């Protein structure tokens, strides 16, 4: 069973599609029962889409990862 801290660790891979099926299902199941992580994932996704639209293509990876890291750190400090 995934915990919230596991979601924070795996969410980048989840968004990138870089997870095994088992892990994806585990995360998906956690997201079903945890509104906190759903909000977190949605926040990252919407932020990434803003960056993807507003930045040149070649900068996507760098910016997305730096931002995801920032959100990730913020999330980890969040006590829930």
Q: What are the residues binding Zn ion (CB under 5 A)? A: 4, 34, 36-37
Quote the least distance from Cβ 27 to Zn ion, whole Å.
10
Quote the least distance from Cβ 75 to Zn ion, whole Å.
10
Nearest residue (CB) to Zn ion, 20 versus 35: 35
**Dist. CA 19–CA 22, nearest whole Å:** 8
Quote the least distance from Cβ 60 to Zn ion, whole Å.
27
Q: Where are the alpha helices (DSSP H) in the chain?
A: 4-16, 21-33, 35-54, 60-77
């Amino acid at each position: 069973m995934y915990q919230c801290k596991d979601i924070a660790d795996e969410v980048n891979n989840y968004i990138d599609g870089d997870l095994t099926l088992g892990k994806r299902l585990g995360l998906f199941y956690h997201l079903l029962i945890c509104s906190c992580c759903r909000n977190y994932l949605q926040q990252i996704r919407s932020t990434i889409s803003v960056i993807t639209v507003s930045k040149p293509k070649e900068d996507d990876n760098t910016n997305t990862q730096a931002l995801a890291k920032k959100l990730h750190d913020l999330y980890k400090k969040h006590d829930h």
